Structure 1
Amino acid sequence: MSLDATCDTLVVLTNLPDEAAARVLATLLVEQRLAACVNVLAPCRSVYHWQGAVEEASEIPLLIKTTTARYAALEAAIRTNHPYELPEIVAVPLVAGLPAYLSWVAAETTPSDTPSC
């Protein structure tokens, strides 16, 4: 399965401190057409090093579906609207997927003034 480079699909991961913050960010990303879909997952426990100490926190993971063309704007929006000083923002490229779904992701993340892929 191959798509034009401007339509390659990514899954971006980030974690928020609570469900309210996760829902606000998810809605913002979809409304701004930076993501076609955001899954707000169940809480998880995260264990990590931060400022010289081992920390543990309950967090809400987000799975964000977007395209490589929208990634820079998505990252900027997450950084601007995320409550953490250093948010996790990790993009994972997809190597395959249902073509109709990947086309939908591309269409939903295309700004209204730009032709779709």
Structure 2
Amino acid sequence: MAFIHNGKMDWYQRYPKDSTAHSVSRPGYTFILGGLLLLLALYPVLKTLSNQLHSALTGSYVAGHHSVILINCPNEQVAKDIGRSLMERRMAACVNILPRTATMYYWKGEIQDATEILLLVRTRTSKVQTLTEYVRSVHPYENPELLSFPVEDGSLDYMKWIDEVVPDQPHTPT
């Protein structure tokens, strides 16, 4: 806004620099930025807690809380060893060992034919990465098949049973 005083045009500031236009200090901005960064860092935890609270209050299932994992093994003995080891370590609530399957796959540029045994593993989704790393360390294949699928819905009693059998915290076999 401008006004004329003694024949000269002066510019009038509605809000002087030292007024409310700059009321948040540098430490205030730092605090706000730090709070936002903390909120972003805690987002996964807060989301999980809110989903669990919603599930507890409504009795509904939180989609993706559990997973099914497929693992191919070269023979029944390897499948049993891996399955039992997962159970002993409380990484899985249940392991099905499905009978011989005919498998065709590309390996090192060629089509391979094989028979394999398929493991069908049920666990918490939070355990998938740990379970995958463990299986890779004990599996005889150079690049074992480990495919995880989140469970979208199912029997609530069955899902609660998985949670009882597979604890959140790491378990070491006795």
The higher-RCO structure (CA 8 Å, 6+ apart) is 1
**Aligned partners of 1:51, 1:4: CA distance in 2, in Å?**
38
Question: How far does the alpha carbon of each residue in 1:49-89 deviate from its partner, in whole angstroms, 9 at most, with x for none?
Answer: 00000001000000000011111111111101111000000
Mapping of residues 2-81 of structure 1, within 5 Å: 2-3=61-62, 8-81=65-138
**Secondary structure at the counterpart of residue 99 of structure 2:** coil
Match of 2:148 in 1: 91
**Aligned partners of 1:19, 1:113: CA distance in 2, in Å?**
27
**Aligned partners of 1:76, 1:112: CA distance in 2, in Å?**
16
CA shift, 1:111, in A, is 5.4
**Aligned partners of 2:76, 2:69: CA distance in 1, in Å?**
18
Q: Select the residue among 82, 89, 98 that pairs with 2:139.
A: 82
CA shift, 1:113, in A, is 7.5
Q: Which runs of 5+ in 2 are unaligned?
A: 1-59
Q: Which runs of 5+ in 1 are unaligned?
A: none
Computing the radius of gyration over CA atoms, which structure comes out larger, 1 or 2? 2
Moved over 2 A (4+): 1-5, 111-114
Residues 22 and 88 (structure 1), Cα distance of their counterparts in 2 relative to 1, 3 Å cut: same
More helix by share: 2
TM-score by length of 2: 0.61
**Aligned partners of 2:62, 2:163: CA distance in 1, in Å?**
10
Kept in 2, the 8 Å contact 1:33–1:111? The answer is no
Q: Which amino acid aligns with 1:3?
A: V
CA shift, 1:12, in A, is 0.2
**Secondary structure at the counterpart of residue 45 of structure 1:** strand
**Secondary structure at the counterpart of residue 38 of structure 1:** strand
Q: RMSD between aligned alpha carbons?
A: 1.8
Q: Which amino acid aligns with 1:109?
A: V
TM-score by length of 1: 0.89
Kept in 2, the 8 Å contact 1:34–1:109? The answer is yes
Match of 2:49 in 1: none
**Aligned partners of 2:115, 2:63: CA distance in 1, in Å?**
39
